């Protein structure tokens, strides 16, 4: 079997070898080709290696692999020491860093922290992964294993170990526990009407523009372009350790311009005139003290509204799912869905396309009802 042609990218190239493993390489500032020191089980790991190399070039700290000092090649390096070094060198969002820190402290370091990383065996990892199933839920278990696998693969790239011991098939993936049923248009209308007037637009933006709660609560007058019918998503609110943090969206793709459906433009204009703070930096959804509304306040009102609409199971975040399915039902392509939702990978956006296709029979039935009515 021939090696597949490299996948063209903005930086570097990735190709799948006959062994089914992935190889990554790029042209460095010295105009020479530089290959990853190891191949990868998953394409995402090859992409992560290229991203690390690109950051080194951007920061001006890049050097050819052979000229770089490794973290250490001593067989006495512990998993705990290497994991701390790995975490310190990563550029992460506060919420992601806190999530990684918790998984390390709760489940990884207690088991492997003092053990030499070179001595950890695949069997030990398999036993640890099995035990995780009795300590936490399936999603957190998958996240924890995925973090351990990423750390070990980085150790391979840093020449600390020769091969990763994390080889449990499919352990880094989890099935969705919460199966989301999109809101119907009548349910959406009923839930919106049950909200206080100053919060009705929040429901509509979540559903029709697929915005996240943190993005909605940080919207300001300067982010709304009613002339062109666009919302400029540039910031979001997250809570880390009880502290409210305002920063950029969770990924670069989250910084985006979202077109407002024309039927919603008058509603947005009326809300701004009646409920928004004054000035370009005026919040669209301020709390009583003038700061962005806490998620708990929005959730309190939403709980009553969803019950009134007959959907006590519908979380506020599910409105974003509803908006994504509605967008997919219009025939939006995968790339268009990714851009509208602010997704950096196709996987999540594909779920909404599948959900929209799953409603095809219902759509066909309704088309027949329209045809019979017209007749």
Per residue in 353-372, pLDDT tens?
555 555 555 556 656 666 67
The pLDDT confidence band at residue 277, using thresholds 50, 70 and 90, is very high
The secondary element (H helix, E strand) that includes residue 22 is strand 22-27
Instruction: Supply the DSSP symbol for 286.
Output: B
In the predicted structure, residue 240 carries a pLDDT above the cut 80: no
If 0-12 CB within 10 Å is exposed, 13-18 middle and 19+ buried, where does residue 66 land? exposed
* Cβ atoms of residues 171 and 143 within 8 Å: no
pTM, whole model, 2 decimals? 0.58
Q: Across residues 290-295, what is the average pLDDT?
A: 90
Is residue 314 classed as helix, strand or coil in its secondary structure?
Answer: coil
**Where is pLDDT greater, at 43 or 336?**
43
The predicted structure's pLDDT at residue 16: 87
pLDDT, tens digit, for every residue of 46-62?
Answer: 888 888 888 888 888 88
**Where is pLDDT greater, at 336 or 199?**
199
Provide the mean pLDDT of the chain.
84
Q: Would you name the residues annotated as active-site residues?
A: 212, 317, 320, 343, 352
- Please give the backbone phi and psi of residue 370, each rounded to the nearest 5 degrees, phi first: -65, -45
Q: Across residues 103-126, what is the average pLDDT?
A: 93
Is residue 360 classed as helix, strand or coil in its secondary structure?
Answer: helix
Is residue 40 classed as helix, strand or coil in its secondary structure?
Answer: strand
Question: How far is the CA of 371 from the CAs of 72, 191, 208, 366, in angstroms?
Answer: 72, 30, 27, 9
Spatial CB neighbours of 73, under 8 Å, sequence gap ≥ 6: 159, 160
Q: Quick one: residue 374, left, alpha or beta (phi over 0 = left, psi -120 to 50 = alpha)?
A: alpha
- Please give the backbone phi and psi of residue 224, each rounded to the nearest 5 degrees, phi first: -110, 120
Q: Which residue, 63, 38, 46, is CA-closest to 11?
A: 46
Q: Extract the tokens encoding 116.
A: 């030499």
Q: Which residue has the tokens 């973290």?
A: 71
Q: What is the arrangement of strands in the sheet containing 7-8, beginning at the earlier edge strand?
A: 7-8, 13-16, 22-27, 33-35
Spatial CB neighbours of 191, under 8 Å, sequence gap ≥ 6: 183, 203, 302, 305, 306, 308, 309, 311, 314
């Amino acid at each position: 079997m021939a090696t597949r042609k490299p996948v063209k990218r903005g930086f570097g190239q990735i190709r799948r070898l006959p062994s089914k493993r992935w190889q990554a390489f790029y042209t460095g500032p010295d105009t020479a080709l530089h290959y990853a020191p190891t191949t990868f089980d998953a394409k995402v790991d090859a992409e992560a290696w290229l991203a690390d190399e690109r950051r080194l070039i951007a920061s001006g700290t890049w050097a050819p692999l052979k000229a770089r000092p490794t973290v250490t090649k001593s067989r006495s390096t512990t998993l705990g020491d290497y994991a701390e070094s790995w975490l310190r060198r990563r550029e992460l969002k506060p919420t992601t860093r806190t999530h990684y820190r918790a998984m390390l402290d709760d489940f990884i370091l207690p088991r492997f922290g003092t053990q030499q990383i070179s001595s950890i065996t695949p069997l030990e990892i398999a036993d640890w992964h099995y035990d995780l199933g009795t300590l936490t839920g399936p999603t957190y278990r998958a996240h924890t294993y995925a973090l351990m696998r990423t750390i070990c693969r980085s150790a391979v790239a840093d020449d600390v170990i020769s091969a990763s011991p994390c080889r449990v098939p499919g352990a880094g993936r989890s099935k969705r526990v919460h199966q989301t049923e999109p809101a119907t248009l009548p349910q959406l209308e009923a839930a919106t009407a049950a909200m206080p007037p100053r919060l009705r637009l929040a429901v509509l933006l979540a559903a029709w523009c697929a915005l996240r709660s943190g993005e909605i609560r940080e919207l300001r007058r300067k982010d709304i372009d009613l002339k062109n019918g666009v919302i400029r998503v540039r910031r979001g609110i997250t809570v880390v350790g009880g502290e409210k943090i305002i920063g950029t969206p969770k990924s670069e793709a989250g910084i985006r311009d979202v077109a407002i459906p024309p039927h919603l433009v008058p509603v947005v204009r009326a809300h701004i005139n009646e409920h928004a703070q004054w000035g370009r930096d005026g919040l669209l959804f301020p709390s009583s003290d003038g700061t962005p509304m806490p998620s708990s306040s929005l959730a309190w009102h939403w709980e009553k509204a969803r019950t009134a609409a007959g959907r006590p199971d519908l979380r506020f975040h599910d409105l974003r799912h509803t908006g994504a399915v509605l967008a997919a039902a219009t025939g939006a392509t995968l790339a268009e869905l990714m851009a509208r939702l602010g997704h950096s990978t196709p996987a999540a956006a594909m779920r909404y396309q599948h959900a929209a296709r799953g409603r095809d029979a219902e759509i066909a039935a309704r088309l027949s009802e329209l045809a019979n009515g017209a007749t």
